[in-house]
Amino acid sequence: MSDQRYIRLDVAYRGTNYCGWQRQGAYPTVQGEIEAALHRIVGNPVVIRGSSRTDTGVHALHQVATFYTSATIPAEHFAPALNANLPQDIRILRSAKIAQDFDPIGNCTRKRYCYLIDDMPVLSPFLIGAVWDYRFGMLDAEAMHVAAQAFLGEHDFVSFQSEGSPRRSTVRTIFDVSVHRRTMPLPFGSLTTFSENEQQVIVLEVEGNGFLYKMVRTMVGTLMAVGCGKRPVDEIAEIIAAKDRCTAGITAPPQGLYLASITF
């Protein structure tokens, strides 16, 4: 493909209206929308390759995708051209020419996800579809954070994997994990000056060298059980050691999950 240029796209999207990232026939997907827009711009079919396959309803603050093209459009112009042809819930943050040996999957060394849980008495209408709307009482974020530290390091995370595409190895390394309560800024927060009315969410952030199918959502579902007092804080290590999906908690819903960043 020496006669073609290799283009990198940095992408953000709200996954609510899509059946995930990966193209799936007639179903709406983020990859499908971008490829259709590229087809309209360059006049021929284009296949893009993304760094991560987000599931139905999952969002991305920073996804990376690449494609080859023989079109003469300057690389940096693909971003505005695509944004003019894409739905508003998919945005190209930037576009640039990149070396042809760049592999958006193979060169990825770390991925960071965040997950938002709203356990306040009333859900802000601005957060619908953007958080896990948890309505069973306030969660203990501090206990969830303490429990989450057991995820750190290299482990076999098969207990946190849902059935899906088989993986050669279920061993992954978690570099950083935290759970904390955060006050949301306007317009998501309160319109009053009373601090007790501020809109708050619980934020889980986790960074690793890779993640199994629905692994982050199962981690969240298990930590939720800790936060509501149904599981002890020190049980996570036992669940990891069991290597049995039945020992972990529920799979948290997709709408609270965000692909936050990718490191190469």
Give me the residues paired with residue 177 across strands: 206
Q: Is 55 a catalytic residue?
A: yes
180 close to 145: Cβ distance less than 8 angstroms: yes
Distance between CA 205 and CA 177 in Å, rounded? 6
DSSP state of 85: T
Write the CB contacts of 128 (distance below 8 Å, at least 6 apart in sequence). none
Q: How many CA atoms does the CB half-sphere of 134 hold within 13 Å?
A: 27
Rg (CA), the chain: 20
What is the distance, to the nearest Å, from the Cα of residue 112 to the centroid of all Cα atoms in its chain? 8
Catalytic residue among 55, 118, 119, 140: 55
Encoded tokens for 225: 């059980």
Place of tokens 């199994």: 212
Task: Say how many C-beta atoms besides its own lie within 10 A of residue 86's C-beta.
Answer: 19
User: Which residues are marked as active site?
Assistant: 55
